[in-house]
Structure 1
Amino acid sequence: MRSAARRHHSSPGAAPLPRQDAADKAYRRSGSSGRIDAAYGRLAAALGDDAVLGPGSDLSAYEDPYAFGGSEDFRCSGAVLPRSVEEVQAVLAIANQHGIPIWTVSTGRNLGYGGAAPRVSGAIVLDMQRMNRILEVDEEHAYALVEPGVRFVDLYEHLREHRLKLWMSAPSLGWGSVLGNALERGIGYTPYGDHAAQICGMEVVLANGDVVRTGMGALPGANTWQMYKGGYGPSLDGLFLQSNLGIVTKLGLWLMPQPDGMMSCTVHFQRESDLEAAIDVLASLRRREIIQSNAQLGNVLRDVAHRYPRSRWYDGPGAMPDEVLDEVRRDLGIGWWWILRFGLYGDKELRDARFRIVQREFSRIPGAEITGHEHLASGSDGLHAWEVEGPAGRLAGVPGFFSLNALKFRGDDCGHLDFSPIVASSGREAARVYNHVKARAREHGIDYLAGFTAGVRHLNHVFTILYEKHDAKQTSSAAALLDTLIREMGRQGIGGYRAHLAFMDLIGDQFSFNEHALRRLNETLKDALDPNGILSPGKQGIWPAASRKQRAGTR
Structure 2
Amino acid sequence: MTNDVEDRGRATGPWAGADGAMLDVVLSDLAGIVGEANVHRDDALATEFRDPYDVPDWDAHWPSAVVQPADVDEVQAIVRVANRSGVPLWVNSQGKNNGYGGGAPRVRGSIVVNLRRLDRILEIDEELGYAVVEPGVSFYDLLDELDRRGGEWWASTPDLGWGSVIGNSVDHGVGYTEFGDHATTLHGMEVVLPDGELVRTGMWASSRSRAAHVHPRGFGPDIAGLFRQSNLGIVTKVGVRLIPKPETYAPLRYKVFEKDGLGGLVDATRALQYEGTIRNIPVIGGVLGTAAMRGPRAHWFDGPITDEAYMRTMREFGSGWWNMRAALFGPDEIVRSQLGRIERHLTNALPGGEFSATPVSGDDVNEHTLPLHPDRVQAGRPSQSLLKAIEWWGPDGGHLEVAAVGRYSGAEVVRCGAILREEMEAAGFDFWPSITFYPRSFIYLGVIIFDRANTAQVQAAYDLYDRLIRRLGDEGFPLYRGHVRGMDSIAEQYDWNDHAYRRLVERVKGALDPNGVLASGKQGIWPPRPAGVSARP
Q: Give the aligned residue type for 1:366.
A: P
Of the three residues 323, 326, 329, the one matched with 1:345 is 329
Amino acid at match of 1:294: I
TM-score with structure 1 length normalisation?
A: 0.91
Counterpart in 1 of 2:49? 62
Contact between 1:53 and 1:78, CA under 8 Å: does it hold in 2? yes
CA-atom RMSD, angstroms? 2.4
What amino acid sits opposite 2:111 in the alignment? I
* Pair 1:358-2:358 in alignment: no
Note closer, same or farther for the CA distance 1:28–1:142 as it changes in structure 2 (3 Å cut). Answer: closer
Question: Which of 313, 323, 329 is 2:300 aligned to?
Answer: 313
Matched, 1:247 2:240: no
Residue matched to 2:35: 48
Question: How far is 1:98 from its partner?
Answer: 0.5
AA of the residue aligned to 1:368: G
Quick check: 390-399 or 105-114, which moved more? 390-399
Q: 1:521 aligns with which of 501, 504, 510?
A: 504
Alignment pair present for 1:454 and 2:442: no
TM-fit CA distance, 1:384: 6.8
TM-superposed CA distance for 1:327, in Å, is 3.7
User: 1:31 offset after TM fit, Å?
Assistant: 8.3
Contact residue 20 and residue 72 of structure 1 kept, 8 A: no
Which residue does the alignment assign to 1:7? none
Q: SS in structure 2 opposite 1:202?
A: strand
Aligned to 2:6: 18
Q: 1:178 aligned to 2:165?
A: yes
The code of the aligned residue for 1:436 comes to I
- The one-letter amino acid of 1:241's match is R
Shift, 1:470, TM fit? 2.0
Other structure's SS at 1:160 match: helix
- Equivalents in 1 of 2:237, 2:40: separation in Å? 24
Partner AA of 1:417 in structure 2: L
Q: Describe the superposition over 1:457-505 as per-residue Cα deviations: whole angstroms up to 9, x where unpaired.
A: 1111111100111212212221122111111111122111110010000
Greater alpha carbon shift after TM alignment, 192-201 vs 432-441: 432-441
- Give 3-state SS (helix, strand or coil) of 1:60's partner: helix
Q: Does 1:119 align with 2:106?
A: yes
Task: Say if 2:9 and 2:61, in contact at 8 Å, map to a contact too.
Answer: no
CA displacement at 1:326 relative to structure 2: 3.5
Partner residue of 2:455 out of 450, 461, 472: 472
Distance 1:238 1:140 in 2: 27
Q: How far did 1:335 drift? A: 5.7
From 367, 375, 379, the equivalent of 2:360 is: 375
| Distance in 1 (alpha carbons) for counterparts of 2:421 and 2:506 | 36
The answer to whether the 8 A contact 1:30-1:100 is kept is no
Question: CA distance change for structure 1 residues 512 and 415 in 2, over 3 Å: closer, same or farther?
Answer: same
Residue 68 of structure 2 corresponds to: 81
Paired residue secondary structure (1:154)? helix
* 1:414–1:291 CA distance, 2 compared to 1 (3 A): same
Change (3 A) 1:270 1:189: same
Match of 1:209 in 2: 196
- Residue in structure 2 matched with residue 275 of structure 1 by the alignment: 262
Select the residue among 119, 126, 139 that pairs with 2:126.
Answer: 139
AA matched with 1:308: G
Q: Which residue of 232, 242, 248 maps to 1:261?
A: 248
Deviation at 1:249, TM superposition (A): 0.3
Deviations 1:243-283 (A, max 9, x none): 00000000111111111111111111101100000000011
**Aligned CA distance change for structure 1 residues 552 and 411 (closer, same or farther; 3 Å):** farther
CA distance in structure 2 between the partners assigned to 1:57 and 1:375 by the alignment: 45
1:4 alignment counterpart: none
In structure 2, distance between residues paired with 1:412 and 1:185:
30
How many angstroms does 1:515 deviate by?
0.3
1:160 and 2:147 equivalent? yes
Query: Which has the larger displacement, 108-117 or 27-36?
Result: 27-36
Letter in 2 for 1:86: D
Amino acid at match of 1:376: S
Q: Any idea what SS the aligned residue of 2:458 has?
A: helix
Cα distance, 1:551–1:179 mapped onto 2, change above 3 Å = farther
Q: Which residue of 2 aligns with 1:506?
A: 489
Given that residues 487 and 510 in structure 1 are in contact (C-alpha distance below 8 angstroms), is that contact kept between their aligned partners in structure 2? yes
Alignment partner for residue 493 of structure 1, among 470, 476, 479?
476
Q: Please list the CA deviations of residues 127-184 of structure 1 after superposition, one character each: whole Å capped at 9, or x if unmatched.
A: 0000000000001111010000000000000000011411101101000000000000
Q: Partners in 2 of 1:549 and 1:28 — Cα distance?
A: 5
Q: Deviations over 1:395-441 (max 9, x none)?
A: 11012112112112111111111100112110010111112211111
- Please say if residues 26 and 121 of structure 1, whose CA atoms lie closer than 8 Å, have aligned partners that are also in contact: no
Letter of the 1:411 counterpart: G
The alpha-carbon deviation at position 334 of structure 1 amounts to 3.4
Distance in 1 (alpha carbons) for counterparts of 2:32 and 2:369: 49
Which of the numbers 10, 16, 33 marks the counterpart of 1:29? 16
In 2, the alpha carbon distance for the partners of 1:95 and 1:339 equals 50
Q: For 1:541, which of 515, 524, 536 is the aligned residue?
A: 524
Residue of structure 1 aligned with 2:419, choices 436, 439, 448: 436
Q: Identity, % of aligned pairs?
A: 36
- Structure 2 vs 1, CA of residues 550 and 52 (structure 1 numbering), >3 Å: closer, same or farther? closer
- Matched residue of 2:359: which SS? strand
Displacement after TM superposition at 1:226 (Å): 0.3
Change (3 A) 1:477 1:549: same
In the alignment, the residues of structure 2 paired with residue 393 and residue 335 of structure 1 have an alpha-carbon distance, to the nearest angstrom, of 18
Structure 1 residue aligned with 2:214, among 212, 227, 233?
Answer: 227
User: Does 2:406 align with 1:418?
Assistant: no
Give secondary structure in 1 for the equivalent of 2:84. helix
**1:189 lines up with 2:173 in the alignment:** no
Change (3 A) 1:545 1:55: farther
Q: TM-score, normalized by length of structure 2?
A: 0.94
Give the distance between the partners of 1:83 and 1:324, measured in 2 at CA: 53
SS at 2:507's partner residue? helix
Alignment partners' CA distance in 1, 2:362 and 2:100: 38
CA distance in 2, matches of 1:534, 1:310: 44
Asked if the contact 1:145/1:253 (under 8 Å) is kept, the reply is yes
**Structure 1 residues 472 and 336: CA distance shift in structure 2, 3 A:** same
Number of equivalences = 534
Separation in 1, partners of 2:114, 2:428: 37
- Native 8 Å contact 2:118 2:135 kept in 1: yes
Question: For the residues of structure 2 that align with 1:550 and 1:287, how far apart are their CA atoms?
Answer: 48
Task: Give CA deviations for 1:156-215 in whole Å, capped at 9, x if unaligned.
Answer: 000000114111011010000000000001011111111001110100011111110111
Q: For 1:59, what is the secondary structure of its paired residue? A: helix
Q: Is the 8 A contact 2:63 2:111 kept in 1?
A: yes
CA distance 1:58–1:252, shift in 2 (3 Å): closer
Q: Secondary structure at the match of 1:226?
A: coil
